Amino acid sequence: MIEVKNLVKSYGGNTVLAGISFTVPQSGIHGIFGPSGCGKTTLLRLIAGLEKADSGEITGTQGKKIAFVFQEDRLLPSCTALKNVSIVSDSETALKYLKLLHLENAADKFPGEMSGGMCRRAAIARALAFGGDILILDEPFKGIEKELRDEAQSIVKEYAKTHPVLFVTHDEDEKLIADSVTLL
């Protein structure tokens, strides 16, 4: 279980998060929702240990492997889709997730040769192939056409049966996949 207690984060005197507290169950999808600029991405980065809080406490992440799908795909432009995913795993696992996300025919393509939705699915495949104890998703399904988005969400739901998943989106339809919610 992940617990966030009285978390505070400011940038240059501007408070972004003020006294945020919530608990994330050991499995399932926990949605973090709120208006643009309210600190959702900052909160995810704090939980992942990429930034340090001004005060407060985050427990349940120590010693855990965290897989993160950022708002940007962050694929290496000089590597194929297969290489981008296998960087965090082995080729067999990478190919498994590329196939699950309908990218097996794009395994030898570079990010510049793929559509935005394909790059997004490759980023999701990489996070899943990493096999983290915790999966963090920041706007993970943006730019993916509906049918493929629904399938990607199903794959994430399956992963969430045995792992905690933290999820941020602005899409009202995507919010429905959350099992529990924190509103900022």
pLDDT for 140 beyond 90: yes
The model's confidence at residue 183, banded by pLDDT at 50, 70 and 90, is very high
Alpha helix (H) ranges present in the chain? 40-47, 81-86, 91-100, 116-130, 146-160
- Token duo for residue 18: 């003020």
pLDDT for 173 beyond 90: no
The model's confidence at residue 171, banded by pLDDT at 50, 70 and 90, is confident
Residue 56: left if φ>0, alpha if ψ -120 to 50, beta else—which one?
Answer: left
Per domain, the residue ranges of the chain are: 28-38+62-178
Separation CA 174–CA 94 (nearest Å): 25
Q: Is the pTM of this model over 0.85?
A: yes
28-38+62-178, what's its fold?
A: Rossmann fold (3.40.50)
Separation CA 79–CA 109 (nearest Å): 8
Q: What is the pLDDT of residue 170?
A: 86
What is the average per-residue pLDDT within 118-138? 98
Q: How far is CA 45 from the centre of its chain?
A: 10
Amino acid in the structure at residue 158: E
Residue 23: left if φ>0, alpha if ψ -120 to 50, beta else—which one?
Answer: beta
Contact 154, 107 (CB under 8 A): no
State the CB neighbour count (10 A cutoff) for residue 132: 20
State the CB neighbour count (10 A cutoff) for residue 89: 18
pLDDT digits (tens, 9 = 90+) for 68-124: 999 999 999 999 999 999 999 999 999 999 999 999 999 999 999 999 999 999 999
